[in-house]
Every structure is written in structure tokens, then in C-alpha cells.
Chains A and B, each alone.
Chain A
Amino acid sequence: MLDRLIDTFFNFQVMGQYLPKIVEGFFLTVQLAIAVVITGIVAGLLLALVRSFRLRLVNFFIIAFVDVMRALPPLVLIILLYFALPSVGIKFSGFVATWLALAAVLAAFAEEIFWAGILAVPKGQWEAARSTGLSYVQTLTNVVMPQAVRLTIPPLTNRTIAITKGTALGAVVAVGEILYQAQSAYSFSYNPSPLTLGAIAYLILFIPVVYLGRWVETRFAWKR
């Protein structure tokens, strides 16, 4: 039984053969994750800043975008971008489709979190800053945002981690990240050991991230 278990899930010969592929996938996952996190958070911050100008029509579109992105499963979005858009002549690679879909989802969640943070800054702060002669934009960037961002760090970190794990969804549209490499190695070798290897690669990548999230949560804990 034990022999069989080892031969099935920890077959070193198979693992050694496909290790380079998994390592290649590892770096692609990292690239994809970094691209998603940066574009998602920056876009979310920009949307929240634009929303603070309270232009009714603009805000309607921002809220609609946020709600749609929060209600749709990320995999549905990826499949829409990759399989549906080509029929109207827009073609993305799997990498770009996954990147755009996850970044849009992260942007939506980040916008909500930043916006809630901006609202949480007391009105008196705005008034005091404006009365000292700061312009609206100066008040926003120098007085309100520094306070708002601090509040948003714990929920934003957790959300970012959750969405970053979605990079594995790229496997469905043939992005050569860890899961895709592990899965194709599995179907070539007809042995699940590459899947074990892929699982280990994810743990190496995400266990530190989960701990980082925990640390951030205690470090910036909200007082209840």
C-alpha cells in the first residue's frame, strides 16, 4: 500500500523529469500574480479617487463595474475574455485574458475597500484641511488618503491574497503556469506525481503569503 502510494504520488523519476517544467510554471505564476496585484490595486485606488469627486454619472458606472465584478465568478470572466470576445474580433492570449480578468476583479474589491476607507475619515478632517488653504486634490492626497489607506490594509491584503490564488485558473485557458504544467505533465506521464510537485510549488509560494496576511492583520488590527 505504502509502496503504491509513493509510486503514485512521489515517483521521483517522474518528478525529476518534469521539475524544469514546474519551475518554469512557477516563474510564470509569479509574473502573473505581480501583474495582477499591481494593476488591480492601482486601478482600484484610481477608481476610488475618481469616485470621491462625486460626479453622479461617473459614479454610476464605477458602482456598476464594481458590482458586476464582485458578482461574477472569475473563471466565467476569464472564459468570456478568452472564448467569447474573439467572435467580435477581439483576441487575447490566455495570459492577457487571465491577467485582465483577475486585475478587474481585484480593482473592484480594492475600490470598495478604499472608498469605505475614504468615507471613514471624519468630515472635520476635510473641513480643517480645506480651511487651511489646501485644494481639494491636496486634501485628498495629503490628509485623507494617508489616514484612509491605513484602515484598508488588512481587508485589502486578504482580498489580494485570495485573488492571487486565482492565477491557477489560467490553466483553463492554457497559460503555462504551475497548474497547467503539472496537469500536462500528468497527462503525458499518466502519473499524478507532477500534480504533487505542482502542489508543493503552490505551498512554497503561498504559505509565506498566508503568514504575511496574518501578520498584517494583527499589526494593523482594527480596534473593535
Chain B
Amino acid sequence: MELLLTNFFNLDILRQAWPYLLSGFGMTLLLCLVVIPLGVIGGLTVALLARARNPIVRWLTVIYVDFFRAFPPLVLLMFIAFGLPFLKIDLGAFGAVALAFLLNTSSYYGEIFRAGIESVPRGQFEAARSTGLSATQTMTYVVIPQATRNVIPDLISNTLEVVKLTSIASVVALPELLYAARQAQSLTYNATPIIAAGLIYLVCLWPLVRLLSRFEHKQIAMH
């Protein structure tokens, strides 16, 4: 017990590590504020392109989605972070993370929006067009709002995964929460900062997990 307290829940160490953890948490928050909207907008674009009239555009979209869904995100991130500088393209750690997340998450959000758009009955398109709305207006005012509502649980679930995934940015030395915790650990020779970082993730994400598990039960029960 004593061992556990001094190594995992050491308040002195926590006090020293706190400024690091706080700035790491800020970076994680900033990262989420950038990559989630990027991923959602990218995903919506992908879903719309998957329905394009031009078959070549449709095929390229399918290839894009499958390609980036098959790639482990960390592999993609390393490829971008270490490979691109050789082409004299230096995005910096934050830029590399943002690009990797855009490519990865837009394909996941894209699949979700695609399923959502498919769940809107055809009659809705036809009715909207027959009232004189243009194709673009039909999409923005009639189809996408309904599609989004139908897939809200999947959107939340994917967003939770994206937030958790931001921890891989620590591998390319972006000073987010996990990176800050590891640094504090190596400075203090104590595991408390890592435990604290875990608790911060837990406190922030637990409400989402509860919400999701309620949605999931409903979804399977309705099958």
C-alpha cells in the first residue's frame, strides 16, 4: 500500500508535475478543437463525393476511404512526420498531426455520414426537389440534417475515439497531455504523472462513455 501511494499517488510529485500536465491538457484540447471540425468537414465532403455523378470520382473516394481505414493512424502519422521533411515540406509536429488526423478521421466520419445519407428515404429527396429546391439546397436543408440526426451515436462514438487518439501525437513530440506526463515522469522518476494523466482522460471522457453505452443498448434492442 505504502509502495503504491508513493509511486502512483504521490501528492508532492503531483504538485511538481501539475504545471506540465496543465499545459499538456491545454494542447490536447487545442488539438481536439482543430482535428475534430477538420475531420467532420472532411468526412462530410467524402460522403458527398461518394455520391457524385462521375463514376471516377466515386471510385477514387472509395479507394481513399479504404486506404486510410486500413492504415494504423500511428503509421500514417510517422510517415507524414518523418517522410515529408525529406521533400522539403516541413509542417512541424502540430501540422503533421493535423494532416494525419484529417486523412484518417475524414474517412471514418465519411463512412458514418454516407450511412446516414443512405438512411434518409428517397421520397425526401423527391419531395424537396419538387417544391423547387435545387440539388444543393435539398442536400443542405433537407437531407444532411436528417442524415446527421440518424447517426448521432456513431458520430459521438467516433469523436470519442478521435479524442483518445490525440495521445499518439506524443510519439512525434507534440507536447500534449501524454507527452507532458511522460516528461514529468522522467524528470521526477515517479509514475504519478502518468496515473494523473490517465485520471484526467477518465474524468473528461467518462460522461461520453456512459452516454454512448445508453445509445448502444437502444440500437441493438431495436435491431
Query: Considering the chains assembled together, what is the distance between the CA atoms of A191 and B78 in angstroms?
Result: 13
Chain B residue total in the interface (Cβ 8 A):
53
Query: Considering the chains assembled together, what is the distance between the CA atoms of A75 and B163 in angstroms?
Result: 12
* Proximity bits, A52-77, B CB within 8 Å = 1, else 0: 00000000000000111011111111
Contact A71 B167 (CB under 8 A): no
Contact B206 A73 (CB under 8 A): no
Of A42-50, A91-99, A132-140, A192-200, the one touching chain B: A192-200
A interface majority secondary structure: helix
Contact B198 A167 (CB under 8 A): no
* Proximity bits, A205-224, B CB within 8 Å = 1, else 0: 01101110000000000111
Chain A residue total in the interface (Cβ 8 A):
61
Nearest CB in chain B: distance from A73 CB, A: 4
Query: Considering the chains assembled together, what is the distance between the CA atoms of A223 and B182 in angstroms?
Result: 47
Residue from B83, B161, B194, B209 in contact with A83 in the complex, judged by beta carbons closer than 8 Å: B194
Contact B73 A79 (CB under 8 A): no
Nearest CB in chain B: distance from A114 CB, A: 10
On chain B, the residues within 8 Å of A171 by CB distance are 74
Contact A195 B72 (CB under 8 A): no
A117 within 8 A of B: yes
Residue from A87, A182, A196, A222 in contact with B191 in the complex, judged by beta carbons closer than 8 Å: A87
B126 within 8 A of A: no
Q: Given A70-B209, A119-B217, do A179 and B75 touch, yes or no (CB 8 Å)?
A: yes
Contact A165 B72 (CB under 8 A): yes
* Proximity bits, A153-172, B CB within 8 Å = 1, else 0: 00100000010011111011
| Chain B residues in the interface with A (C-beta under 8 A) | 3-4, 7-8, 66-67, 69-75, 78-79, 82-83, 86-87, 119, 160-161, 164-168, 170-171, 178, 182, 185, 190-191, 194-195, 197-198, 201-202, 205-206, 208-210, 212-213, 216-217, 219-221, 223
Additional pairs, 8, CB under 8 Å, beyond known A66-B213, A80-B194, A85-B191: A74-B164, A88-B4, A165-B71, A169-B74, A191-B86, A195-B79, A196-B83, A210-B69
